Structure 1
Amino acid sequence: MMTREMNLMMAASTAGLLGFYLLFSSAPLYAATGGGGGLGAGSVTGAMMLATVAAELAVPWLLSRLGYRAVMGLGLVLLGLPALLLPLSAELSWVLGISVLRGAGLGVLVVAGTALTAELVPEERRGEGLGLYGVAVGIPSVLGLPLGLWASDALGFGPVFAVAGLVPLAGLPAVLGLPATRPAYGTKPASAAGPAAGGLASLALVFAAVTTATGVLVTFLPLAGSPELASVALLVQSLATPAARWWAGRHGDRHGSAGLLVPGVLATAAGVALQVWAGSPVAVVAGMALFGAGFGVLQNATLALMFERGGAARVSALWNLAYDAGMGAGAMGFGLVLGHTGYAAGFGLVALLVLATLPLARVRTAAGYAPLPR
């Protein structure tokens, strides 16, 4: 399964995402110190994620025209080159423009990488392959987020911007070894025909509800209680998620992924519900560990089930769209209701939102979403 092309794809994806996460928190801070303030910092993140979602919608068409090799290369260039231009100005308009380009690069890279993973691994081991890909792309967030903030404070923004620009560009040689295959655009394979094809939207909704909760927790958990406790809890979650994603892939290849949907939803909902007690270290850390495990399981299970029913490029775009749009909607929506609910009741409502997808998860299981024939 770990062929040369698979290793090269994972290396390129890891390089691009490390460059992205190094600036995920430091670029908004740069804009704030340049006169943009808190509103400017939020605008940088918002503009970047909006560009990510917009680019994800275009990737299936790009892949059909340019192929995997060129599109992966485009994603790395958009993540790398603009970052090298950040030191020229801290003006908000300049940082926003750079962030839009980098957001588009992220959207291009993750959709192309996810789709190519599904193409490169054998069908009977697709779940495990997606799990390994999840581990590879999870490492940059664990390393890049804290490292970017620390280095910005200790070394200044300039060196961080240089590294964040050069690391994605260093992944370009790996792209040269990737296939130039151009997947068909706008067609539906036989495996996606019939009633099961309609399950794509339901699976995406289940996943979007969980990513909405992720956006809430990542953004507001540090504000709801102790920032130090939140840092530990988020680290535990970031470690639990890729491990659970890999385990879910191995389990799904052997026993089917459909049976993981309900446990995944219950685990994530319980993890969010425990954040109601944001002042309790045990509740916060245990809850985020539980949430991280459920999130990782659902990442793999929803993606594997969707790939069984749709074309790789189309499914990858839909799944990544649910990921990024859900996170953005969670952060913005929770901020709007927070003044009326407070943190405890707000976390409780988010847990109920996740639980509301249980009928969709149970229907998908009852519909017989079993593993592919071996």
Structure 2
Amino acid sequence: MSDVTAPRPRLVTRPLVLVCLANFCALTSFYLLLTVVPMYAAAAGGGVGAGMTTGALMLTTVVAELCTPWLVSRYGYRRVLVAGMVTLGAPALLLLGSSGMATILAVCLVRGFGFAIAMVAGGALAASLLPAERRGEGLGVLGLVSGIPAVIALPAGVWLAGNHGYPPVFVAGALAGVTAAVLLLGVPDPRQEAGEPAGRSLGVLAGLRTPALVRPSVMFFATATATGVVVTFLPLAVADASGDLATLGLLVHSVAVTLARWWAGRHGDRHGAAGLLVPGVLATAAGMLLLVMVDSPYAMLAGTALGGAGFGAAANASLALMYDRVAPSGYGAVAAIWNVAYDTGLGVGGAGFGVLAARSGYPAGFALTGVLVLAVLVPARSGAGLPRGGGKAAPPA
């Protein structure tokens, strides 16, 4: 008689731990500077200049994300990731010697390329190390680990800059990126171990022609746009209040994102991820509408908490749903498409809101952002390709 109680496959392995630690360091480098660089640039270019830094960062990030699956297929995970981590961290040191907008934007453009590699190649590598039977649980844990840098580094960067100046933030961001590169030197390349020939991978363009992948990513994009607005402009919107209030708001947002990603991973593994997408969009929009009352500390904190929870749930649910719809050979394309949605949303939110707020003020800008987030539910309701009842969709042919 066969054993029907076979043990579950092991979730945590040494390579996965090293990838998680490297991801932690990369995101620490990213979040330390995400809000601080717009603050640094505000003196040179005002609110529009602050938005341009986030837009420049995400511009090269999106372009590089489309190329990263090809780079991995050509050179392998390890070499591409090590180069990407160094590119993410080291350019921050150039900000120590210049506060000109040209230098700031150039650094953002270069760091965007490294960030794209870190997220796309790192995400695909982590997914390939997870057993299929525990993928939902594993993504939940990875989301929790990935969210910790946002909880710590995002508000810490603002606090450090306000109390000790910008140089310590730039140095810390550079060291975090280089540390990630060192950690990845000890990770074996699964493509080489499997004997997969160079140049073979599912293309991003093919993934972009697959509605089952595009539709969840579009809904996630809407929540990422709102997050780009919050992390870029919340410190400026509450500038007349205590600086600690902006730090607290970013901390609340980051904690909400992290906890929601972890909870969504566990819930989606048991009940399906698709049912969490629409609630995530609704919560994100509601959070932005609460920020219309940004002058009220209670409304601001409630808005950042609700918006962060919606973004975190949509992030985990969309990624899990997209991985479920492809074979392992498509993980790189999924990671690229999902990260394009993420980073395009952050860039559009940062750059677009800067222009809007300069004309209409922050409350009106927050209100319009909330309405635009809700607009993504119109195509979703008319047939977003999501399975009813939260079930998993079959992989596309």
Q: TM-score range by the shorter chain?
A: 0.7 to 0.9
Question: Aligned partners of 1:359, 1:69: CA distance in 2, in Å?
Answer: 42
Does the CA contact (< 8 Å) of 1:252 and 1:371 recur in 2? no
Give the letter aligned to residue 141 of structure 2.
L
> 1:146 deviation in Å?
3.4
Alignment correspondent of 1:269: 285
Question: Aligned partners of 2:19, 2:241: CA distance in 1, in Å?
Answer: 36
Alignment correspondent of 1:47: 56
Question: Aligned partners of 2:231, 2:182: CA distance in 1, in Å?
Answer: 34
> 1:50 deviation in Å?
1.6
Tell me whether 1:357 sits opposite 2:364 in the alignment. no
> 1:52 deviation in Å?
1.5
Does the CA contact (< 8 Å) of 1:71 and 1:108 recur in 2? yes
Does the CA contact (< 8 Å) of 2:65 and 2:340 recur in 1? yes
Tell me whether 1:13 sits opposite 2:29 in the alignment. no
Question: Aligned partners of 1:341, 1:174: CA distance in 2, in Å?
Answer: 46
Question: Aligned partners of 1:347, 1:170: CA distance in 2, in Å?
Answer: 37
Give the letter aligned to residue 321 of structure 1.
V
Tell me whether 1:204 sits opposite 2:225 in the alignment. no
> 1:372 deviation in Å?
7.5
Q: Match for 2:366 among 330, 347, 360?
A: 347
Tell me whether 1:308 sits opposite 2:321 in the alignment. no
Secondary structure of residue in 2 paired with 1:171: helix
Alignment correspondent of 1:116: 125
> 1:30 deviation in Å?
5.1
Give the letter aligned to residue 354 of structure 1.
V
Alignment correspondent of 1:59: 68
Alignment correspondent of 2:261: 245
Question: Aligned partners of 2:93, 2:361: CA distance in 1, in Å?
Answer: 41
Secondary structure of residue in 2 paired with 1:300: helix
Q: What is the CA deviation profile of residues 219-268 of structure 1, one whole-angstrom value per residue up to 9, with x for unaligned ones?
A: 33444456444432332111011111011101111111111122222222
Question: Aligned partners of 2:222, 2:64: CA distance in 1, in Å?
Answer: 21
Give the letter aligned to residue 29 of structure 2.
G
Give the letter aligned to residue 203 of structure 1.
P
Give the letter aligned to residue 67 of structure 1.
G
Does the CA contact (< 8 Å) of 1:68 and 1:178 recur in 2? no
| Range with greater deviation from structure 2 (209-218 or 279-288) | 279-288
Does the CA contact (< 8 Å) of 1:273 and 1:351 recur in 2? yes
Alignment correspondent of 1:73: 82
Give the letter aligned to residue 314 of structure 1.
A
Q: Which sections of structure 1, spanning at least 5 residues, go unmatched?
A: none
Does the CA contact (< 8 Å) of 2:227 and 2:346 recur in 1? yes
Alignment correspondent of 2:34: 24
Give the letter aligned to residue 321 of structure 2.
L
Give the letter aligned to residue 340 of structure 2.
L
Give the letter aligned to residue 267 of structure 1.
A
Alignment correspondent of 2:298: 282
Alignment correspondent of 2:4: none
Question: Aligned partners of 1:159, 1:342: CA distance in 2, in Å?
Answer: 32
> 1:318 deviation in Å?
0.8
